Amino acid sequence: MDFIAGTLFFFWVGMLLMLLCSVSGAEHYSSAVGDPGMRRDGLRIGFEAWNFCNEVGREAPGMGSPRAADCFDLLGSKHERRRKHREHRSINSTLRLKHRVTEADNKLGVGKSFSGLNPDALNDPDLYAAEKELYLGSLCEVNDTPRPWQFWTIMLKNGNFDTSSGLCPENGKKVQPFVSQNFPCFGIGCMNQPILHHQETHLLGNGTMMRGGFNGTYDLGYFGLGGEEDISYFEVIWEKKVGVGSWEFHHKLKTSSKYPWLMLYLRADATRGFSGGYHYDTSGMLKSLPESPNFKVRLTLDVKQGGGPKSQFYLMDIGSCWKNDGSPCDGDTLTDVTRYCEMIINPDTPSWCSPRSLPNCPLFHVTPGNRKIFRNDTANFPYSAYHYYCAPGNAQHLDGPTSTCDPYSNPQAQELVQLLPHPIWAKYGYPTKQGDGWIGDARTWELDVGALSSRLYFYQDPGTAPARRTWTSIDVGTEIFVSNQDEMAEWTLSDFDVLLTSVKS
């Protein structure tokens, strides 16, 4: 019996050691966002609108600076919230929303001072908007580890560009007005900011739901409710059951003949520093910045309407900024470069990268097994996995013929890597065929964004140390690109989280 008992003892010790070893090598996750999975009852949401080159230019009459926020705390015990939801009835209680941002705050515009405003920004619409965002962020801020965070961000952008205005630089360099027919513009004032309406978040009916929203139009002087023909329209409504589940963000975006190129995203941005596409300090939700290859993104997406064949709907869009020599951006728009990677899930989006259009392809593709395939290897390069690649306009050492990106739509030069569903992305949890995640195929995605982004080609000057691929903006939404008729896109986003991965030894 002693021998048998001893044998069993060592057997179970061995099994326990094997289990511990397998667990010690497992992936562990921590959330990079202040509101993991959008489950916090006390919502923090910000709004920002931009013109073509991510500036303001001029405020819309009576609207103030195009920055706003809806941030509040839900007061009342967690037990009381669960009980209200479970019984689906009103209970006499102290449940209420304590708002941190007033409508007077949201209506602040040039010429109106607020705490901390730099006097140089008081009458400059671009600088004023950047500082107003920081001010609203300070009202919404939540203390956390490793640093405080402010809000999820709704970003709205108008693609009209009046080339005679002189408002947008060329690859970060100031240029004189010029004549061009390559960009939509109905005439003077086409780069205007929108009319914005705010429905402050409130408790509904029996107190078991919360709802709020922003909506509006770029058509100045129009104050309808949307849906009319040939009127631009945007809307984001958020709602949540008290104490239960995720916030659901319902988006709508409609183009018109005057505004055929519009963008609407929900973003997790850096809490400080330069978010993707900007050269101002920002506020946001990313309390820790994800770095390739060690992060994943989880979200639930339900596309109701696609926005037509020109809608470049991004299941995932990540943005950052580093210079061509690999060093971090410092606000110098002549040498900073915005880098984007975008997965487009609209099945109407074709591949512009092909053996006959090599300039529209990245220089090489890297497989999950780290095999490098150059774009001129026509037998092996996965051309249909890429919609379009374009290099920074300030790159000095491009290898062979390459498309360069639009030099005007960001404050500095930019680089784009645009992907399409393809079996080559299966290892990362991305769509593998056309129609995945599209209308009628609502899904919860877990995307290994870090691993994929670590293998993508981005330009860098020869002989320089590789840039750290740290991402300052992660977003979902659509860019309806110069539609020739009115288009409507509609989708719901929830459960958004950015997961930092590590292996515990």
Each of the 505 residues of the chain gets a pLDDT tens digit; together they read 454 444 444 445 445 444 444 444 566 889 999 999 999 999 999 999 999 999 999 999 999 999 999 999 999 855 455 555 555 555 446 789 999 999 999 999 999 999 999 999 999 999 999 999 999 999 999 999 999 999 999 999 999 999 999 999 999 999 999 998 899 999 999 999 999 999 999 999 888 899 999 999 999 976 555 556 799 999 999 999 999 999 999 999 999 999 999 999 999 999 998 876 678 889 999 999 999 999 999 999 999 999 999 999 999 999 999 999 999 999 999 999 999 999 999 999 999 999 999 999 999 999 999 999 999 999 999 999 999 999 999 999 999 999 999 999 999 999 999 999 999 999 999 999 999 999 999 999 999 999 999 999 999 999 999 999 999 999 999 999 998 899 999 999 999 999 998 754 3
Structural tokens at position 190: 């086409």
Sequence-distant (6+) residues with CB within 8 A of 242 are 41, 74, 81, 84, 85, 95, 203, 207, 208, 209, 210
Residue keyed to tokens 């970003």? 155
How do the domains of the chain map onto residue ranges?
30-503
Query: For the chain, what's the residue count?
Result: 505
Q: What is the pLDDT of residue 2?
A: 53
Provide the whole-model pTM: 0.91
Q: Which pLDDT score is estimated for 229?
A: 78
pLDDT for 205: 81
Q: Which helix (H) or strand (E) holds 13?
A: helix 2-24
Residues 181 and 211 sit within 8 Å (Cβ to Cβ): no
Structure tokens at 166: 């002189």
Integer CA distances (angstroms), 341 to 222, 297, 464, in order? 36, 14, 22
How much is the pLDDT for 86?
Answer: 58
Confidence at residue 3, expressed as pLDDT on a 0 to 100 scale: 45
With vertex at residue 126, the alpha carbon angle to CA 221 and CA 487, rounded to the nearest 5 degrees, is 45
Give the pLDDT confidence score for residue 323 in this predicted structure: 96
Structure tokens at 199: 């429905």
3-state secondary structure of 502: strand
With a CB cutoff of 8 Å and minimum separation 6, the contacts of 253 are 233, 234, 235, 262, 263, 264, 307, 478, 480, 488, 489, 490
- Residue 223: its pLDDT value, please? 56
Q: Tell me what pLDDT residue 181 has.
A: 85
Q: Would you state the pLDDT for residue 206?
A: 84
Three-state SS at 60: coil
